[in-house]
Homo-oligomer: A and B are copies of this chain.
Amino acid sequence: MTRFFYILCAVATTAAFSPHSQAAADDRDVVEYREHIMNTLNEQAAALGEILSGAIPADSAATHFEAVALTASTALKAFAPKVVGGEAKPNVWSDWQDFERRMKEFEKRTAEAASTAKAQGKDASLADLVDAFTCKGCHDVYRDKKRGK
């Protein structure tokens, strides 16, 4: 069905299609799913970056924060199945308690930022609100971009 979407939405990404066992297919789905979530966070953070730079008007800033918060709320669950793969390092699961704590903190802070952005509208200080993006601290510990190649 993922492929249905790929065709339906004519997306840029084309997954390699090779025969595999059902188990392998399931694992690949788990990895792809969490990658779609992390990529969404990446794209929305970058959109906010364009706004913060002043290149793009801030009209949609609160909506971007809300999209980030919503997506953050789906992230921890996406990592719950212990399937090593993609850019996630194995310590995501061996240090699960710490990973979970950081993810919940990220979820909480982005939700607060979205709420503030919505309430304050054009008066919101976007530069302060992006403090909720604690990506790097977590990526330094739990992500290895080379693993995803």
Q: Which residues of A contact B (CB under 8 A)?
A: 1-13, 25-26, 29-30, 32-33, 36-37, 39-56, 59-60, 63-64, 66-67, 70-71, 73-74, 77-78, 87, 130, 133, 135-136, 139-140, 143, 145, 148
Looking at the assembled complex, report how far the CB atom of A81 sits from the nearest CB atom of chain B, in whole angstroms: 9
Are B63 and A70 in contact, with the CB atoms below 8 A?
yes
Are A6 and B60 in contact, with the CB atoms below 8 A?
no
Looking at the assembled complex, report how far the CB atom of A52 sits from the nearest CB atom of chain B, in whole angstroms: 4
Are B46 and A5 in contact, with the CB atoms below 8 A?
yes
Are A139 and B9 in contact, with the CB atoms below 8 A?
yes
Are B32 and A50 in contact, with the CB atoms below 8 A?
yes
Are A135 and B8 in contact, with the CB atoms below 8 A?
yes
A119 and B65 CA atoms in complex are apart in Å by: 23
Q: Which residues of B contact A140 (CB under 8 A)?
A: 10
Among all A-B residue pairs, the 3 with the closest Cβ atoms: A1-B53, A5-B49, A29-B55
* Contact A74/B70 with A56-B33, A139-B10 known, Cβ cut-off 8 Å: no
Are A9 and B45 in contact, with the CB atoms below 8 A?
yes
